[in-house]
Amino acid sequence: MELKYDKIKEGDELPSLQKPPIEQVQLVRYAGASGDFNQIHTVDAYAKEAGLGGTIAHGMLIMGILGQMVSGFAGVKNVIRFGVGFKAMTRPGDVLTAGGTVKKKFEDNGKKFIECKLYVKDQKDEVKIDGKAVIEVD
C-alpha cells in the first residue's frame, strides 16, 4: 500500500508480518535485552508453579512485533501514536502474525493522517494484543 492520503481507503488492510514460532531461547535473550528477568518468562518449572502452565512470552516482546509491522509499513518517523492492550498469553511454539486495518482518515492543522486498528494473532486466530496507531501520510 502506498502511503498517499488520496490512495488510502478506510477498510484497507495493512501488510501483515508473520514471525517464526516463538522459541524459549528467544525469551531468554529478550530477558537479557530488556532487563525483565521474571522467571515466568524463562524457567518453565517456575511458570508452572505460578499457575501459568509453562513459560509465557514478555508482553513487550509481542508489542515489539506489532511495532515492527507498523514501522515497516509507515516508517518510524511517520508513526505519531502507538498503543496496545494485552489480551492473551503467548507461549513458546506460537506463530504470530501482526496486522491491521485503516479505520479512519482525517486532517488536522494541514496535515493528513490515518488511524489504524492493529492486532497480533496466533496460529489459532487468538488475539494476543490489539491496539491502534495514528500515522502521518503525504
pLDDT digits (tens, 9 = 90+) for 33-47: 999 999 999 999 999
Domains of the chain as residue ranges with CATH: 5-21+57-137 (3.10.129.10), 23-56 (no CATH)
d(CA 37, CA 89): 17
Mean pLDDT confidence for 45-57: 97
Mean pLDDT confidence for 47-70: 98
Residues in the chain: 138
- List the strands of the sheet with 17-18, edge to edge: 17-18, 97-108, 111-121, 127-137, 79-86
- Residue 25's pLDDT is 97
Q: Are 131 and 85 in contact (CB under 8 A)?
A: yes
Using DSSP, state whether 48 is helix, strand or coil.
helix
pLDDT band for position 118 (cuts 50, 70, 90): very high
Q: Does position 121 have pLDDT exceeding 80, yes or no? A: yes
Contacts of 98 (CB under 8 A, 6+ apart): 16, 17, 18, 19, 65, 66, 68, 69, 70, 118, 119, 120
- Residue 105's pLDDT is 98
Q: Does position 1 have pLDDT exceeding 80, yes or no? A: no
